[in-house]
Amino acid sequence: MNLPMLLQLAMIAQDREITIDDCRLCISEAKEGLVLVNDLMQQNNTDIDE
């Protein structure tokens, strides 16, 4: 992520009074989502190979 984008996100967060904990929760949920997507893609790849 580039710096201008981070600054923009920080300004939005400040306007909406989003806390660091909100950000951490969002990041951890996003990571879990990526793991699920990755697992599904790997399952699909093995299904195709069979």
Note whether 41 and 33 are within 8 A (CB).
no
CA distances from 10 to 7, 19, 29, 33, 35 (A): 5, 10, 19, 23, 26
- pLDDT tens, residue order, the chain (50 aa): 578 888 888 888 778 887 888 888 888 989 999 999 999 999 888 766 65
Among candidates 9, 34, 13, which has minimal Cα distance to 22?
13
Where do the structural domains in the chain lie, given as residue ranges? 19-50
HSE, CB side, 13 Å, CA atoms: give it for residue 45: 6
pTM over 0.85: no
DSSP type of residue 8: H
